[in-house]
Amino acid sequence: MSRKKRNADDAEDRAIEFDARSALAELGWLPPTTEAEVVPAEARLPESPLPDSLADAEALLSRSEEQFSGSDVVTLPGSTNTELTLRRAAREGGTIPPEIEKRMRRDRQQEEGQMDDKEHGQNAP
């Protein structure tokens, strides 16, 4: 295939993709993201009732505040107290006695095991 023909095919493909994007918006398979797309979307809006979770605006905002105030606090195995203690000791150049290190590692394994159990429990059918 010549370069000229290939370029023409690529241009045609791009034109079809562009039209496909418009068609998907018209079908409602993409949300209206331009003012021009909102107009027909408003005209064809189905009269579907809101689910209970969206019915009360004030409750929704309050719930969001509660959820998000704690959403960044996630305990992962890599940031447990044991791990942090080990890191701190390493940073400060301190020596950790073997029995302490052994105990810390045992604690860490135990914590990771609990995390695994929790995760598997959540995913269980």
Q: Cα 120 vs. chain centroid, distance in angstroms? A: 19
Choosing from 1, 31, 92, 98, the residue that interacts with another protein (CB under 8 A) is 31
Q: How far is the CB of 75 from another protein (least distance, A)?
A: 15
**Pairwise CA distance, residues 83 & 108, whole Å:** 7
Largest CA distance in the chain: 74
CB 48 within 8 A of CB 28: no
Q: How far is the CB of 125 from another protein (least distance, A)?
A: 16
Interacting residue ranges for another protein, rule: CB under 8 A: 10, 12-14, 16-24, 26-39, 41-42, 45-46, 48, 50-51, 53-54, 57-58, 60-61, 64, 68, 71-72
